[in-house]
Amino acid sequence: MKTARTIAEVRHAVSTARAQGLSVGFVPTMGGLHAGHISLVEAARRACDFVVVSIFLNPTQFAPGEDLSTYPQSLEADLASCDAAGADLVFIPDVETMYPGNALTTVSVSQLTDTLCGQSRPTHFDGVCTVVTKLLNIVAPDKAFFGRKDFQQLTIITRMVADLDIPVQIVPCPIVRESDGLAMSTRNQRLSAESRAQAVSLHAALTEARDQIRQSHSPATEIIDAIEAYIRLNAPDGEIDYIQIIDPETLCDVETTDNGVLIALAVKFPGARLIDNMLVDSEPRSQ
């Protein structure tokens, strides 16, 4: 495995791989890698001949007062994990490399960014879309791999590359969870022991909601109320940011749960804001 710190190095390595007839897979990350990230690298390894991973803590997707300065970083461990998972090249740019001078261009996607995390983080997805566009232009992969835990991000990026005719296939990958159901996140390590124990209630609440939808197709507001009550009871340290039941394609709120829906939530614990979601298929009502 090789590392690169400049755009020219990345482009040279990728062009060399392409000259050998190799397909290119790409996994963008902000570092602090865990098993969820590594599952994306492994998926890229299975699907592509040459795998590029980026490690870049992107400042433009953090608003003032968010956790940019305390976001967990572990470059040496991250590189070892990438090597073990089969990455061929890790791109480790600094901020000046990614944003030289006074950049005047931002990539923005409308509508899809107005809901869910976009409500409390209104500038977040402009930062995400801008840096992902830049990384896709730098690496020029055949396929790029994103996890479904960040479902809104996945949906936005999929739409962005379609709208902008960026020649890459966005590959969704499953949520990877701890043994107790908590969705893996770099921010999990910032939870206290007490908050960590309470955080499992997010997945438990989603699971109960899924079962309720499958059994009775209750109205969305009734399901949301039940999730809120469960989290307030079982995670008193948590402050609910949002709980929504949406159409998984448009990300618009739904009133009924007769068709396939996505249940999504975000909860702020001391030290970490956690997100999770669950797709619920449109199974018939129980008789």
Class of domain 186-279 (CATH, top level) = alpha beta
pLDDT digits (tens, 9 = 90+) for 182-201: 999 999 999 999 999 999 99
Looking at every residue in the chain, the average pLDDT score rounds to 96
C-alpha–C-alpha distance, residues 268 and 120, integer Å: 11
Describe the crossing of helices 220-234 and 193-216 by its angle, rounded to 10 degrees.
Answer: 160
Listed by start position, the domains of the chain span 2-173, 186-279
The DSSP secondary structure of 76-111, one letter per residue, reads HHHHHHHHHHT-SEEE---HHHHS-S---------S
Contact 39, 45 (CB under 8 A): no
261-269 vs 169-173, strand pairing mode: unpaired
Catalytic residue among 12, 34, 37, 124: 37
Q: Is the pLDDT of residue 262 over 60?
A: yes
Q: Is the pLDDT of residue 22 over 90?
A: yes
Cβ neighbors of 125 (< 8 A, separation 6 or more) are 61, 108, 109, 113, 117, 118, 152, 153, 156
Q: Report the candidate in 259, 163, 244 with the shortest Cα–Cα distance to residue 206.
A: 244
- The number of helix segments (H) and strand segments (E) in the chain equals 9, 9
Class of domain 2-173 (CATH, top level) = alpha beta
The answer to whether 37 is a known catalytic residue is: yes
Q: Report the candidate in 201, 207, 208 with the shortest Cα–Cα distance to residue 232.
A: 201
pLDDT digits (tens, 9 = 90+) for 103-133: 899 999 999 999 999 999 999 999 999 999 9
Q: Would you state the pLDDT for residue 102? A: 81
Q: Is the pLDDT of residue 286 over 70?
A: no
| Phi (first) and psi of residue 234, to 5 degrees | -100, -10
Q: Would you state the pLDDT for residue 272? A: 96
Q: Would you state the pLDDT for residue 103? A: 86
Contact 58, 30 (CB under 8 A): yes
